[in-house]
Structure 1
Amino acid sequence: TLGFVTQGLTFDATNDTAVTNSGGYELAGATAAVASGASGTVKVGGEVTFESGRSFSVTASATNVLGGATGAAAAASGIGTSKLNTVADVNISSQIGANDAISVIDNALAFVDDLRAEFGAVQNRFASTINNLQTTGENISDARSRIQDADFAVETANLSRAQILQQAGTTTLAQANQSQQTVLQLLG
């Protein structure tokens, strides 16, 4: 949200708001001289355009001039009020209305483009995360299979050793039953 107050003019806007000034004059440091007893007016023209996909408001205090009117006169004439136009609010039977419709549609398309860019970035982050998780899963599976392969080789060697010892023991007992002397010869 953006907001500021300057010389009684208040501006509040939410995200995605552009403020442009076209054809205006900067009067900083300007001076004007009026002869004694004379009167006159100075008109400074310009246009400030607020474009937003969301909402905004512009208000003026009763003591400041906005659009050539002050306070109640400004409120009565509608000067100093703001409105966010939608396609439904635009009358395309005039050139100004058609231009307003094009402006509203352009702003809506820009808003959609911004959303597409944001969603595209999120989608790319998701795709990257998915690829990372798949790679991690493959690495874990490879590590598990290497561990199991190594354990299988160790267990196979242990089984072979146990079988050899069992066969040797069985053979020794068989021969011991035949003759005790043979056993002593085998051990000695």
Structure 2
Amino acid sequence: MKRTTIFTTLTAVAIAVGTAAVAHGDGHRGGNGPMMHRPDFSELDTNSDGVLSPEELAAPHAARFAQADGNGDGMLSAEEMAAHAETMRQQRAIRGAERMIERMDANDDGQLSVEEMTARADGKSMFDRLDKDGDGAISEEEFADAGKGGKRMRGHDGGHRGDHGGKKRHGHGDD
């Protein structure tokens, strides 16, 4: 009976937090929707006995629930779920901005200038990239071709932006 209660509680918590995540964009989005951090076995095995008890398995979900439960009443209101989702979204935005600065900050001052933000690894400006024939003007055909590349949100290798496997700066080599 105790295991059934724990499992039911765990499932309800996962659904509540997962529903808030889907409804409000919480979690990183991959090809199949939101993803939650998957802890290592050793993180879950809090007593280091080499096996997971139902309580150990439920603990991260309960912690996430408690974090979202702003008034501590053991229940999640729509407002609490929305507030928690917004907090998670802001944290993701900050982490993304920090990664972007790390990648593109040529002078290591912790900030990005317009030059650093528009520089690319090939050293070409946007104008130079659009001006395919190098005549100093962008024709209607060159402008239309720019939208056909499909690389706007992708890195030079076709992977997603930021997927560099290490610190690489656009326009600044592999420092």
**Length-normalised TM-score, structure 1:** 0.25
Q: Which of the pair has the greater relative contact order for Cα pairs under 8 Å at 6+ separation?
A: 2
Q: Which structure is larger by alpha-carbon Rg, 1 or 2? A: 1
Bigger fraction of residues in strand? 1
Bigger fraction of residues in helix? 1
**Length-normalised TM-score, structure 2:** 0.26
